[in-house]
Amino acid sequence: MLVAGQRPNALITLDLTGLSCPGPILGVKKLIMQLREGEVMLLVSDCPGTKDDLFSWAARTHNRVLSTERHRGDAVGYFIERGPASRPVADAEIDARGSVCPGPIAVAHRALAGLRGGALLKLTSDCPGDRADIEAWARRTGIGLEDVVALGAHTWEFYLRKP
C-alpha cells in the first residue's frame, strides 16, 4: 500500500529520455509484461505527449500510474503499477503443454497460417525454453506478442496477433 507522500518502490527503471512518442509507451508495454501484478516500474521520459498517452493506456489496460516526479531537465518519472492480467479474448486457442521445443512454435505457426489477419491466438505452453524462444520468433516474423501471462513455473499463456 502506498502512503501519501511516499515514493513508490520501482522494481525496474526504463529511462527513455530523448525518445519521442510513441516510443515511451511501446517501451512500457513491452517491459510491464515482465512484471507481476502489483509490481512497479519507473518510466522516465521527456516527451511532452507521454503523460496523456500513458494515462490513457493505463486506463485501457488496467495498469495504474501511481505518481509522478520531476527529473533532470524536462523529464518526468512515472511510477506504473502492473494491474491484474487482463487476458484478451482470443480467436483461437492451443494448449501445447507437454510438447517440447520447438513443437509449440510449429503448432502456433500452423494455427496462425489458418487465421485471418489481425486474429489473436492464445498459446499455452510449459516448455522451459518457450518464453525466450516465442518472444524471439514473434519479433523475427512480425507476429504481435500482445501479452504473456505466467501461469506457474515455466508455464505461460502467449497472446499472438497475426499481422
- Give residue 70's pLDDT band: very low, low, confident or very high (50, 70, 90): very high
| Strand spans (E) along the chain | 12-15, 40-45, 64-70, 76-81, 92-95, 120-125, 144-152, 155-161
pLDDT at 156: 86
Strands 64-70 and 76-81: antiparallel
Give me the pLDDT at residue 30, please. Answer: 83
**In sequence order, which residues have a C-beta less than 8 Å from that of residue 54 and are 6 or more positions away?**
24, 25, 28, 43, 65, 78, 80
Per residue in 21-64, pLDDT (tens digit) is: 888 988 998 888 788 889 999 999 999 999 998 988 887 778 89
pLDDT, tens only, 86-140: 667 789 999 999 998 899 999 999 999 999 999 999 999 998 887 889 999 999 9
Residue 140: predicted pLDDT: 94
pTM for the model stands at 0.55
**Single-letter amino acid code for the residue at 18:** G
Residue 85's pLDDT band (cuts 50, 70, 90): low
For position 60, what pLDDT does the model report? 74
Bond preceding residue 8 cis, omega within 30 of 0: no
pLDDT at 5: 62
* pLDDT at 152 (0 to 100): 74
pLDDT category at 67 given cuts 50, 70, 90 is very high
Residue at 101: amino acid letter: C
* All cell numbers assigned to 14: 526504463
